[in-house]
A and B are shown apart, each in its own frame.
Chain A
């Protein structure tokens, strides 16, 4: 294994005659092709402004990716070192062994990706997204390591051969910063996403794991990474580069383990953002506009989604990242106070909704866990047949990732124009006969509006208690929501608790309605 020489900056100045030029000077068509790919990616996101244009946007994204890959293969195909014989229209130096390896690598990835995309259940989408993020992160780390080991191939180094000594390869100082940052962000994305995946997939407990002095450890590690990257510009030794990588893997792990399951929407969005910044940093290294544009798009997309999620929980981004939410409150709510509540049966629920003029359904993570979305749509169809107006109300943090509930309802063939966001539907609860809460809890808690001591005080919530009747499906009366707080709603006069598994309860209601 050969590394670039550790201390090339200290050697006598380069001999201009032997210096190889930086390979950033690419032909204009290449620059334009990458720009076109970047524009396709912008249009792909733009298409998502409405479901009607979204498919076209996705196809543009694929075209953009094809342009970027083909351009790279045309300009950087593998070649043998010997000179091409003159008069041959094809480059006779093409290294077909390596080329077929590359095509095989793409094919392997394509098969794995397509099979996964086809088989994955919609309820498992948060895990899949986390797993995909980890791959982007790891790919960034691998590219960074390859660029460090073979900097001339990336055009980020000068090399010269002093008389009677070994060739010295000297990575540009700017490229060293870009490489260091790219590898650090990529490694954080990777290990953070692996933890997020394990938590979302249930391989690891969703409750926060709190190390003593964790803030100190994290800050010290981050500081060390930044200092080492600064030192890397002076010394391109392997130990500096690989220590940055190792510390970044560690900090990604340390940052995510104290964050609880309910905060996962923020974490997933944040890692989405990081994967973008990692791509952008690599784009700077390669002077590649497609990568820079994509990185900026993805980076801002993840950042905006994190912001939307934090706002929907009335929490600051820093407090989410600091972690530990839900751990203390859950411990405190150990004493269960016996308060009177009304309990109803599936028949009662069916009767109430049949008589209603308007029903608003409020789904939450519990619906996803119980896979109740299809049965729920059946129930809504039966109600509509009875002349009941049915709408769905979705809180931005319902579920485990942004838009999770919308996808599940879409999967169950619920038309998207019956599904409304919090701010669009909240005023309608007052004129609603039945609010049907299935698998949601904290996002309906009126204490968020009134109780200043509640950990969720100030969080925007759905005003379900304003409906004439609230039907609330819950497995049992024990066990609070993810924030670990008791829900005032259960004990209200207009609330009827339906204690059962979400799917079983809805199935029984469907039977009673039919």
Chain B
């Protein structure tokens, strides 16, 4: 992908983010933070590439540490979000 296409994706995604986030109900703002936390750990992609690459052992270990940190966030973030969301219940009628 060239720079122009990734800038286009970025700008459009900012607009999508703007509209999607305004539609989130305020009652779910804490789960919103928890889940955005989990998905921003998609940075694990970079850590996986660094950990798998040969050539520089320091970079590799930095990558492995990055994988650990990001996966704490991924698993912890999604799990705590789903734990919170399970608590939101409607009135029993």
A interface with B by C-beta (< 8 Å): 1-2, 24, 31, 37-38, 41-42, 44-46, 48-51, 54-55, 57-59, 61-62, 64-65, 68-69, 72-73, 76-81, 95, 98-99, 101-102, 105-106, 108-110, 112-114, 116-118, 120, 122, 125, 128-129, 132-133, 135-136, 138-140, 142-143, 145-147, 149-150, 152-154, 174, 268-269, 272, 275-276, 278-280, 282-302, 304-305, 308, 394, 396, 401-404, 406-407, 410-411, 413, 415-419, 421
Q: Which residues of B have CB within 8 Å of A268?
A: 33
One of B30, B40, B66 near A402 (C-beta < 8 A): B30
- Which residues on the B side are within 8 Å of A286 (C-beta)? 45-46, 49
Question: A102 contacts which of B22, B27, B52 (Cβ < 8 Å)?
Answer: B52
Residue from the list A58, A122, A282, A421 in contact with B78, Cβ < 8 A: A58
Question: Which residues of B sit under 8 angstroms from A282, Cβ to Cβ?
Answer: 43, 46
Closest residue on chain A to residue B27 by CB atoms:
A406
Nearest residue (CB) in A for B28 is A48
Chain B contacts for A109, CB-based, 8 A: 67-75
CA distance A308 to B49 in the complex (A): 37
- Which A residues touch B92, using CB under 8 A? 415
- Given known contacts A109-B71, A292-B9, is B39 in contact with A297 (CB within 8 Å)? yes
Do the beta carbons of A150 and B23 come within 8 Å of each other? no
Task: Say yes or no: B40 contacts A136, CB within 8 Å.
Answer: yes
B69 partner, pick from A62, A139, A272, beta carbons under 8 A: A139
Given contacts A65-B78, A109-B71, A113-B73, contact A289 B9 (CB under 8 A): yes
Indicate whether A298 sits within 8 Å of B59 (C-beta atoms), given known contacts A120-B80, A129-B33: no
A1/B69 in contact, CB under 8 A: no
Query: In whole angstroms, how far apart are the Cα atoms of A70 and B79 in the complex?
Result: 19
CA of A55 to CA of B59 in the docked complex: distance in angstroms?
37
Q: Which residues of A contact B13 (CB under 8 A)?
A: 38, 42, 292-293, 295-297
User: Contacts A37-B42, A109-B74, A300-B14: A101 and B6 contacting too (C-beta < 8 A)?
Assistant: no
Contact yes or no, B32 A301, CB < 8 A = yes
Does the CB pair A146–B40 fall under 8 Å?
Answer: no
CB nearest to B82 among chain A residues:
A58
Once the chains are docked, how many angstroms separate the CA of A406 from the CA of B24?
14
Q: What residue of chain B has the Cβ atom nearest to residue A39's Cβ?
A: B16
Q: Are B45 and A78 in contact (CB under 8 A)?
A: no
The one of B34, B39, B64, B65 in contact with A294, judged by C-beta atoms closer than 8 angstroms, is B39
Given the interface contacts A65-B42, A101-B64, A150-B53, does A296 sit within 8 Å of B33 by beta carbon? no
CB distance from B42 to the nearest CB of A (A): 5
Smallest beta-carbon distance A365→chain B, Å: 14
- Bound: A128/B30 CA distance, A: 11
Whether the Cβ atoms of B36 and A117 lie closer than 8 Å is: no
For the complex, what is the distance from the CA of A41 to the CA of B9, rounded to whole Å?
Answer: 14
Given A58-B82, A149-B56, A294-B40, A113 contacting B77 (CB threshold 8 A): yes
Chain B nearest CB from A126 CB (Å) reads 8
> Does the CB pair A136–B70 fall under 8 Å?
yes
Pick the contact of B27 from A1, A138, A280, A416 — CB < 8 Å?
A: A416
* Pick from A61, A125, A143, A150: contact of B43, CB under 8 Å: A143
Find the B residue at minimum CB distance from A2: B56
Residue from A48, A287, A417, A419 within 8 A of B31 (CB atoms) = A48
> Could you name 30 residue pairs across A and B whose Cβ atoms are closer than 8 Å?
A44-B39, A45-B20, A58-B31, A62-B78, A101-B51, A109-B70, A110-B75, A132-B34, A132-B37, A135-B72, A136-B40, A139-B69, A139-B73, A142-B66, A146-B59, A153-B54, A174-B3, A279-B43, A285-B46, A289-B1, A295-B40, A297-B13, A301-B32, A304-B22, A308-B26, A402-B33, A410-B84, A413-B87, A413-B89, A415-B91
* CA A149 to CA B58, docked complex, whole Å: 8
Nearest-neighbour CB distance to chain B for A252, whole angstroms, equals 16
8 Å CB contact of A129 from B17, B18, B34, B64: B34
Determine whether the beta carbon of B16 is less than 8 Å from that of A42.
Answer: yes
Report B87 CB to chain A, min CB distance, Å: 4
| Contact among B18, B43, B45 with A136 in the assembled complex (CB-CB below 8 Å) | B43
CA distance A64 to B42 in the complex (A): 9
Please tell me which one of the listed residues A1, A289, A421 contacts residue B6 in the complex, with CB atoms under 8 A apart.
A289
Of all chain B residues, which has the CB nearest A145? B62
A174 nearest in chain B by CB position:
B3
User: Chain A contacts of B25 at CB under 8 A?
Assistant: 48-51
Cβ of A297 and Cβ of B22 under 8 Å apart?
no
A413 to B55, CA, bound (A): 55
Query: Are B80 and A128 in contact, CB atoms less than 8 angstroms apart?
Result: yes
Note all chain A residues with C-beta closer than 8 A to B28: 48, 51, 54, 403, 406
Within 8 Å by CB of A44, from B9, B35, B41, B89, lies B35
